[in-house]
Structure 1
Amino acid sequence: MNNIDNETGNRIQQWLGTEYDDDTVAQVQKLVDNNEETELIDAFYRELEFGTGGLRGIMGVGSNRINKYTIGKATQGLANYLKKQFPNQTINVAVSYDCRNNSQELGHLVADVFSANGIHVYLFKELRPTPMLSFAVRHFKCQGGVMLTASHNPKEYNGYKAYWNDGGQLVAPHDKNVIHEVNAIQSVNDIKFERDSHNITLVEEDFDRIYIEENKKLSIHPEAVSAQKDLKIVFSPIHGTGIIVPKMLSAWGFTNVQVVEEQIKSDGNFPTVIYPNPEEEEAMTMAKQKGQALDADVVMATDPDADRVGLAVKNQKGEMQLLNGNQIGSLLIYYVLSSKKEKGDLQDNDFIVKTIVTSNLMTDIGNSFGVKNYETLTGFKFIGEVMTKLEGKENYLVGGEESYGFLVGDLVRDKDAVNACAFIAEMAAYFKTQGKTVFEVLLELYENYGFYQEKLISLTKKGKAGADEIKQMMADLRANPPQSLGGIKVKEIRDYSTSIAHVLADGTKTSIDLPKSDVLQFITVDGDVISARPSGTEPKIKFYCSVKEELASSDAYEQVLIKLGDKVKNIMADIVKD
């Protein structure tokens, strides 16, 4: 096996040692005997690291795979770090898991390791959404938490989201420090796997009521829900933990919620979809079809761990139309801000948050209401970080990111599709009392703030070869940045890896006041924003494009839509090279 370097080879030999169980050793040996060089390299060329979504990878044997040893090692490292950060204290953590294959077993393994280290664990008895884990960390006053999930990734993936005492995912310096602790573990024998049942408390089903009731207190227009309680809602959990959403909607007062029966059952194989990701049109197909058949007002679907939500609403032709994450987030921000202004509840210290690759329509809406806007790096954990830093000083209202993650109110420090579904339904009910559909309000936003159109293109590059290719693509963009895109001159280049914004015309350079990240942005003279970013959770490089045009009236919607679509197509053709 000529292409396996020494470091990778050493890892393979280690996993063939006596520290590992017989089944694991047999699987690794089989790969070696069959000369599965590519698989061995992909499985052992590195240790899994925390990205924007924590630890995530394909399930299987190897240091770069999700298995009991990599999960055990991560948990032991986190336990060691928690003990250093909270000395001479009783340390509590919350642990939950979603519907994915092996999630429950891995969740119990995580609880075992924490308990063996003298850490008290609040372990969910049954699978529950990621936002409920964040809520539990705060509710039980834990120092940390872990969620076993790979979110919206394909079925062969699983993952490990680590949380700090604020209920948010690990951010600097804790993320790097935990990795340091994990890497310091040189032997499987250093991992304490032996469960101590005295240190484990099961979180029962009645905890749902606490979470739901606290969310219900956030409702802005309960009178609108009462008036439109029979709003036609279609919902799908896409085989995941979102099955709690109908309970939330019912508690808020909605009586006409139809669930997509074929997708109710929790199933880590996701048999009815290719990808369990509501960002994908295909994943929304069943829900959308049912919504069309029932003439629904809103159609919603959540991903496996219920932190992302997709939405379809009736357009001006009466057809169910999917909205993208930028549109959903903009509508939620407008609904919250306009409703609070109507009720006289807007405060001088209110704020909203979005990420750098999310539509500036959200910023425009916030500015129009005199509400402060914050912008973060990609990943909702950074939005949660802003919320924690400003807690007690400023008042978080709502935030979101283009990847279908939203949060209204500050009950958790992560995106929350259960919370978002309730507010989307309430928003639709409120607009309906005014004689408007959600889509009509979206068109009004475009008329008032400009017609924004966005597009995301993701290129999948698997394995070590793919990771190397993605690095080279970013290096090439930095070495030879485009001077124009789609025939439109580039005005400014923002390189978040160096924290420098460079205006091309006069050479002016200014600092970007955000942590360093492997992201490039190109701003054209038209104000178009094009971003390139390797994913932190998937073997992908992502290209984002946002363009804007005036919309004189809703009658011109189709015409401007086509015009913007052509513009996006031309821009993307110049930057996306596969």
Structure 2
Amino acid sequence: MGTLDTETQARIQQWLAPEYDPETVAQVQQLVDNQEETELLDSFYKELEFGTGGLRGIMGVGSNRMNKYTIGKATQGLANYLIKQFPGQDIKVAVSYDSRNNSQSFGNLVADVFSANGFQVYLFKELRPTPMLSFAVRHFGCQGGVMLTASHNPKEYNGYKAYWNDGGQLVAPHDKNVITEVNAIQSVKDIKFDRNEANIQLIGEDFDQIYIDANRRLSIHPEAVLAQKDLKIVYSPIHGTGITIVPKMLKAWGFEQVHVVDEQAEPNGNFPTVIYPNPEEDDAMAMAKQKGEQLDADVVMATDPDADRVGVAIKNPAGEFQLINGNQIGSLLTYYVLSSKKALGQLKPNDYIVKTIVTSNLFAAIADAHQVKYYETLTGFKYIGEVMTQLLGQETYLVGGEESYGYLVGDLVRDKDAVNACAFIAEMAAYFKSQGKSLYDVLIQLYLEYGFYKEKLISLTKKGKAGADEIKQMMADLRADLPKTLGAIDVVEVRDYELSQATNMKTGEKTKIDLPKSDVLQFITTDGDVISARPSGTEPKIKFYCSVKEKLSFSSEYGQISNRLDDKVNTMMADIIKD
């Protein structure tokens, strides 16, 4: 262990103490005996921290791993903070979990600690999606909640999403304050692990109907669903929680031809049919697309393990099912909601939508055309939820989304909701089919009307401490040598969200960015292109986003302009990514 820094070595020694259970101590000792320094470094070089998606990491022993002690410590820290924030109140919390390995036992562990602290715990009896946890926090009037999930990460990961009393994930100052409380716990003896069964109430299947009924009341065009009740829908939960509620929701909405991908229907934390359980990956959607082709379906959908993100495949003019990206799905939903409400005379002056800073500006163009206000937030749906909470009672949230396949129609929860989105995507398909249009037709219509927006995301994976250091250095290098051109196009503005300032590259003038600090750089070109760089808050990745736009005058030009935009994106990305 000679090459390990002193802090890492101190953490390792702490985990070899008798206050940890014998099995944990034995596992750590084996790593030490085998001199597995890389694994020891990655497991102990830091404490897991809350990012844009909460606590997330590889399962195993160590302070930087998901296990009984890191989860117990996080829960005790959260409990201590809740007690301080709500003095003298009877504190209530909701807890749910997804299909990942250990999620159910971790969920029960969280319930143990909360109940031992005297909290009333609403624990889902069986696995349920993340949005239902957010809904439960609001429904039961809880002060907080926890969802055990690592979303779409590989199978070796698990995670812990902490929620506040509005049903949204922790944001400033609560996120950092909870970390302070967690770090203040110096011994596992300070964690109350002894379950108090009297404080735990199980949430059963009857709660599903409450959630379904509340969503069903949001339907904009129930008459279109009735007219197209035989709309052929293919759905895959990709071995996750979606199977427990999405088919029920679609049936309650009025759809009678919902076809589940049987091979991916059973919840399974090993995700045996996919490499990554991520609906934005072609591999994860392959079985659903194949079933869609066999059935000549109208729309194909798949949700990630905790059912807060949804991927969609639609039929193109060649009759093939093609995946559409998160910006396209969100733009279609935004257009459907705003255009429908406008046609029905339901748009109000205080209505608004929300998008993140790395999401397509097509959202904004659609909102502007409908004279609806839009807000931009940092990356992470928790920031969209924060806007919803801040504006509650003053303005009306209609729809929001982010390029990473997360959407929400209506304000029942404070997180992205793939169950809600699946219902509205199906309703949208039914509505436009009644008008003789496919979703592909509508997408082209958007490009003709608002401009052809084309986006690309490149993610570079950098694992472990060495990877984290490399990502940090990449961002530092970018800041030290800001590109003057990208793809031979002048950069006219640089937005540094870490410094909360935008710089005019021609005049040097600096203006304030009125958003919380975040490690994000954005480059704006003379053509209005937007290129962003940011380390992921939930995965060991650095992400580069590029969005370009060109006028589309005729649908016959789609292929030609699409290829031209692809070339432009690739050239610009090559100038900014130095890997």
TM-score range, shorter chain: over 0.9
Q: Distance in 2 between matches of 1:242 and 1:139?
A: 20
| 2:53 maps to amino acid | G
Q: Distance in 1 between matches of 2:139 and 2:237?
A: 25
Q: Distance in 2 between matches of 1:486 and 1:206?
A: 56
Secondary structure of 1:175's counterpart equals helix
- For 1:33-112, list aligned pairs within 5 A: 33-112=33-112
Q: Which residue is 1:5 aligned to?
A: 5
Deviation at 1:408, TM superposition (A): 0.1
Q: Distance in 2 between matches of 1:541 and 1:3?
A: 27
Q: Distance in 2 between matches of 1:133 and 1:555?
A: 46
Q: Which residue is 1:518 aligned to?
A: 519
Q: Which residue is 2:572 aligned to?
A: 571
Deviation at 1:82, TM superposition (A): 0.4
Secondary structure of 1:18's counterpart equals coil
Matched, 1:156 2:148: no
Q: Distance in 1 between matches of 2:357 and 2:311?
A: 21
Q: Distance in 2 between matches of 1:17 and 1:451?
A: 61
Q: Which residue is 1:251 aligned to?
A: 252
- For 1:486-565, list aligned pairs within 5 A: 486-565=487-566
Q: Which residue is 2:478 aligned to?
A: 477
Q: Distance in 1 between matches of 2:342 and 2:490?
A: 40
| 1:41 maps to amino acid | L
Q: Which residue is 1:129 aligned to?
A: 129
Q: Which residue is 1:271 aligned to?
A: 272
Q: Distance in 1 between matches of 2:302 and 2:578?
A: 32
Secondary structure of 2:543's counterpart equals strand
Q: Which residue is 1:261 aligned to?
A: 262
Deviation at 1:2, TM superposition (A): 2.5
Matched, 1:321 2:322: yes
Q: Which residue is 1:190 aligned to?
A: 190
| 2:500 maps to amino acid | S
Q: Distance in 2 between matches of 1:283 and 1:570?
A: 28
- For 1:164-175, list aligned pairs within 5 A: 164-175=164-175
- For 1:360-509, list aligned pairs within 5 A: 360-509=361-510
Q: Distance in 2 between matches of 1:309 and 1:146?
A: 21
Deviation at 1:506, TM superposition (A): 1.1
Deviation at 1:204, TM superposition (A): 0.6
Deviation at 1:277, TM superposition (A): 0.5
Deviation at 1:24, TM superposition (A): 0.2
Deviations 1:454-511 (A, max 9, x none): 0000000000000000000000000001111111111110000001100111111111
Matched, 1:146 2:146: yes
Q: Distance in 2 between matches of 1:371 and 1:316?
A: 32
Secondary structure of 2:283's counterpart equals helix
Secondary structure of 1:523's counterpart equals strand
Secondary structure of 1:242's counterpart equals helix
Secondary structure of 1:304's counterpart equals coil
Q: Distance in 2 between matches of 1:47 and 1:382?
A: 24
Deviation at 1:279, TM superposition (A): 1.3
Q: Distance in 1 between matches of 2:546 and 2:118?
A: 49
Q: Distance in 1 between matches of 2:577 and 2:508?
A: 26
Deviations 1:292-312 (A, max 9, x none): 121111000000000000000
Deviation at 1:282, TM superposition (A): 1.1
Secondary structure of 2:128's counterpart equals coil
Matched, 1:350 2:351: yes
Secondary structure of 2:122's counterpart equals strand
Stretches (4+) displaced over 4 A? none
Deviations 1:258-316 (A, max 9, x none): 10000000000000000000111111111011111211110000000000000001112
| 2:39 maps to amino acid | E
- For 1:202-213, list aligned pairs within 5 A: 202-213=202-213
Secondary structure of 2:9's counterpart equals helix
Deviations 1:127-165 (A, max 9, x none): 000000000000000000000000000000000000000
**TM-score, reference length from structure 1:** 1.00
Q: Distance in 2 between matches of 1:566 and 1:284?
A: 26
Secondary structure of 2:314's counterpart equals strand
Deviations 1:55-105 (A, max 9, x none): 000000000000000000000000000000111110000000000000000
Matched, 1:286 2:283: no
Q: Distance in 2 between matches of 1:433 and 1:346?
A: 22
Q: Which residue is 2:338 aligned to?
A: 337
Q: Which residue is 1:240 aligned to?
A: 240
Q: Which residue is 2:303 aligned to?
A: 302
Q: Distance in 1 between matches of 2:552 and 2:157?
A: 42
Question: Where does structure 1 lack aligned partners over 5 or more consecutive residues?
Answer: none
Question: Where does structure 2 lack aligned partners over 5 or more consecutive residues?
Answer: none
- CA RMSD between the two structures: 0.5
Deviation at 1:3, TM superposition (A): 1.9
Q: Distance in 2 between matches of 1:3 and 1:333?
A: 53
